[in-house]
Structure 1
Amino acid sequence: MNFIFISPHFPESYWLFCQGLKNNGVNVLAIADAPYESLSTNLKNSINEYYKVDSMENYDEMLRAVAFYTFKYGKIDWIESNNEYWLRQDARLRMDFNIANGLTFSHMDDFQSKSRMKTFYQKAQLPTARYCIVSTLENALEFIQEVGYPIVIKPDIGVGSSDTRKIRNQEELETYFKHPRMVKMIMEEYINGESFSFDGITDSHKKVLFMTSHQYTDSIMDSVNEQKTIGCYSYMNIPEDILDAGLRTVKAFNTRSRFFHFEFFRLNEDKEGVGKKGDILGLEVNMRPPGGFLPDMINYANDSNVYQLWADMIVHDKIEHVQHRKYSSGFIGRRDNLEYAHSTQEIQHKYGDNILMIKRLPKALAEGMGDEVIVARFPSEEEIRQFFAYCSEINI
């Protein structure tokens, strides 16, 4: 099997996907824009060949790289990055080289357009926030007359929470529209709800081979925009309604042979036109692994290697793994602008071996995840919630 892995050096842990493939006898062919000498030893040992391009944004260069590998090794079986930013380009390369495995280019909007996703959530019989595509202040005001403030506005096709804004009143709305966006924007009513995810790996028949679920401590959007403490933890036992909603979503979308990351809301209050308190709403679908530290958290919670499990699915279309969630793992991102009641040293002293990682993040990542991230695991969800409360406490 010839597998081209795009950008295996970023995120840093993605060399583990290549290692998993190589462990299964796959010919792993990498393409990226980093000098070969800058690659980690682990990555170098996990690939068979490396092709450097000047820019992965240059499609002609990417095309030549795949053509080179095709000439040298023959038919390419897979092209994949597992990275939201490159999914559309991955699909275009598959189309141009007639590669059947993976997401097709013609259906990329089904997975990346936030407005298009809603039709598939409807197929899964899950409600979503009401929305409209906005281009002018006038049609934004018309929508707000229906749903009221606050509202959320973001790119219809975008990566993560980039350029996502919560707008509370007309003054903020008018300020927002003074700076026109060059991409299509979607406006949604604000949902007061808890955020959680349903994550997993499927085979070529949409059968879920591995699954987990994570509860966020606060709205991701609010945590980023308001620079609040952010965190999430994994369920040891996935609640039945989350499991039901997640499995219905798997069936509604083309989730064949994928690592997936689905995001949902649970309403904190009745919402006219949407649902009752406790109802689950579809938020967004991501046809790639969850971001940040979540893959490692999944491993910590399950004593597993999801990078290898994904590679097993790619090669064998099955996973020989009996899943048993022994722990609840989580991360908390603390921000330098907040004065916490407990120092990092106090946290280390109190929780000892429960802490698996403490890491300072570069500025580019800190905005979304916090300046300092602490990853930990506990034998119960109650203990990890207590851990979050202790780490988040602010001096008054």
Structure 2
Amino acid sequence: MDRVKNFVVVSAHFPENYQYFAQRLKGVGMNVLGIGDGVYDELPQELKQSLTEYYRVDSMDDYQQMYRAVAYFAFKYGKIDRIESHNEHWLETDARLRTDFNVRGFKNEDMNQIKRKSSMKAVFNAVGVPAARGRVFKDVEDAKRLVKELGYPVVIKPDSGVGANDTWKVNNVDDLEMFWKQRQENVSYIMEEFIAGTIHSYDGLTDQNGHIVFSSSYIYNQGVLDAVSANSSFFYYIRRDIPEELEEMGRKIVKGFALKERFFHIEFFLREDGSYMALEINFRPPGGAGVEMFNYANDIDIYQEYANIVQHNQFTADVTRPYYCGYISRKSGRDFKHDNEAVRAHCGDQLMKLIEVPEAFVPVLGRNGYVVRAKEKAELLDMLAYIDA
């Protein structure tokens, strides 16, 4: 009789929709072992029912507590087969635990390549995908030399970082000097040429052999940095078709990083001349409502398909991309013409979900979010415009 596999879910309670990974993993016969800092009695009932056991730590940032949790699971249940959070914030913790417990997946030695933007850029270049010019600089004089090569404006951000945190658009030497005075001294920064364009993504999931079994693509109305600084509505949507050039570049990048049994989210600039340029890759599903939007756009259950990949290395859904699916935020401090009841009446059964955004994501995604879908792009954009009015 085959041994029951043990899957450790890091941050089992957050984000809330990720509990469906735990549910589907249990459904395919795995022991699902949760670690988190949330109180067990406050976990959603569905999550409790999905977990074989839950280990609460006081702080998930304390590695010794995380190590003891996995050690306890290994002692009680045997070999640990998977450790995963699907969360950028815990990427290094996941890798460290996998290294210490000899679990398949990214390990400590992989972190430099998958966390540092300079290393990502090296892979993009190696597989023949264009990326913004730039490099890590060591001091203000080096920065001034580099900006002469690139020309203003430039973008400066931590070489290892998430989203728009500590990202600067530098338009002149005064901006550069202000950045240098306010920078974090223990952080390594990369400077890149500023690229004008809209952000398009290539997203998907690979099986245990590294084959892409699911793919999708988002178009964003603005970047995360703009959404935070402008406090304006932020929307994005899944397209029904993926341009051939974008798909080809995305597949090259996935192969270049040798991704196996993993979600990925690759961002590109679509430039004014119609060409694509790689921005960065995230080794996780898209944030916010992104995972659920995969389901709404395709009438599939991507949580189930992930569990099928882990347990059986099979992807069984028929992906035909029948819908465009969009998300739009409403930021605080602005009056909108249509309340939620009016939105429900206007969108009808094409309003798939109304979301109260977790506090951590409010600066980017807004206080309230709306997920809608339609078979025609014009119809989808009409609903997004109605919500934003």
Instruction: Tell me the residue number matched to 2:379.
Output: 383
Of 138-147 and 325-334, deviating more is: 138-147
Task: For residues 286-337 of structure 1, give each alpha carbon's deviation from its aligned partner in whole angstroms, at most 9, with x where no partner exists.
Answer: 1111111011111111111111111111111121111121111110112223
**Structure 1 pair 203–359 and aligned structure 2 pair: CA distance change class (3 A):** closer
2:365 is the alignment partner of 1:369: yes
Residue 145 of structure 1: how far off its partner (Å): 1.4
Instruction: Tell me the residue number matched to 2:254.
Output: 250
Instruction: Tell me the residue number matched to 2:129.
Output: 126
Residue 258 of structure 1: how far off its partner (Å): 0.6
* Preserved CA contact (<8 Å) 1:236 1:380: no
Instruction: Tell me the residue number matched to 1:281.
Output: 277
Residue 343 of structure 1: how far off its partner (Å): 5.0
- Match of 2:217, SS? strand
The separation in 2 between residues aligned to 1:365 and 1:352, in whole angstroms, is 27
What runs of 5+ residues in structure 1 fail to find an aligned partner? 269-276
The separation in 2 between residues aligned to 1:135 and 1:361, in whole angstroms, is 38
Residue 344 of structure 1: how far off its partner (Å): 4.6
* Preserved CA contact (<8 Å) 1:29 1:48: yes
**Structure 1 pair 338–9 and aligned structure 2 pair: CA distance change class (3 A):** same
2:353 is the alignment partner of 1:357: yes
The partner residue of 2:213 within 185, 209, 214 is 209
**Structure 1 pair 358–119 and aligned structure 2 pair: CA distance change class (3 A):** same
The separation in 2 between residues aligned to 1:79 and 1:363, in whole angstroms, is 26
| Aligned amino acid, residue 304 of structure 2 | Q
2:113 is the alignment partner of 1:117: no
Instruction: Tell me the residue number matched to 2:7.
Output: 3
Instruction: Tell me the residue number matched to 2:76.
Output: 72
**Structure 1 pair 310–336 and aligned structure 2 pair: CA distance change class (3 A):** same
Spell out the pairing of 1:324-339 with structure 2 (5 A cutoff): 324-339=320-335
The partner residue of 1:315 within 311, 314, 323 is 311
Misfit runs of 4+, over 6 Å: none
The separation in 1 between residues aligned to 2:260 and 2:43, in whole angstroms, is 31
Task: For residues 327-363 of structure 1, give each alpha carbon's deviation from its aligned partner in whole angstroms, at most 9, with x where no partner exists.
Answer: 1111011222345555555433332222122233354
2:296 is the alignment partner of 1:300: yes
Task: For residues 105-132 of structure 1, give each alpha carbon's deviation from its aligned partner in whole angstroms, at most 9, with x where no partner exists.
Answer: 2011211111100111112211111112
- Match of 1:352, SS? helix
Spell out the pairing of 1:1-396 with structure 2 (5 A cutoff): 1-99=5-103, 101-181=104-184, 182-268=186-272, 277-340=273-336, 342-393=338-389
The separation in 2 between residues aligned to 1:98 and 1:261, in whole angstroms, is 26
* Preserved CA contact (<8 Å) 2:208 2:310: no
- With structure 1 as the length reference, what TM-score do the two structures score? 0.93
The separation in 1 between residues aligned to 2:140 and 2:323, in whole angstroms, is 49
* Preserved CA contact (<8 Å) 2:199 2:267: yes
The separation in 2 between residues aligned to 1:168 and 1:6, in whole angstroms, is 41
Residue 246 of structure 1: how far off its partner (Å): 1.4
* Preserved CA contact (<8 Å) 1:121 1:282: yes
- Match of 2:91, SS? helix
What runs of 5+ residues in structure 2 fail to find an aligned partner? none
| Aligned amino acid, residue 168 of structure 1 | N
| Aligned amino acid, residue 187 of structure 2 | V
Of 16-25 and 130-139, deviating more is: 130-139
Same amino acid, percent of matched pairs: 40
The separation in 2 between residues aligned to 1:248 and 1:338, in whole angstroms, is 43
**Structure 1 pair 4–363 and aligned structure 2 pair: CA distance change class (3 A):** closer
**Structure 1 pair 357–218 and aligned structure 2 pair: CA distance change class (3 A):** same
* Preserved CA contact (<8 Å) 1:328 1:379: yes
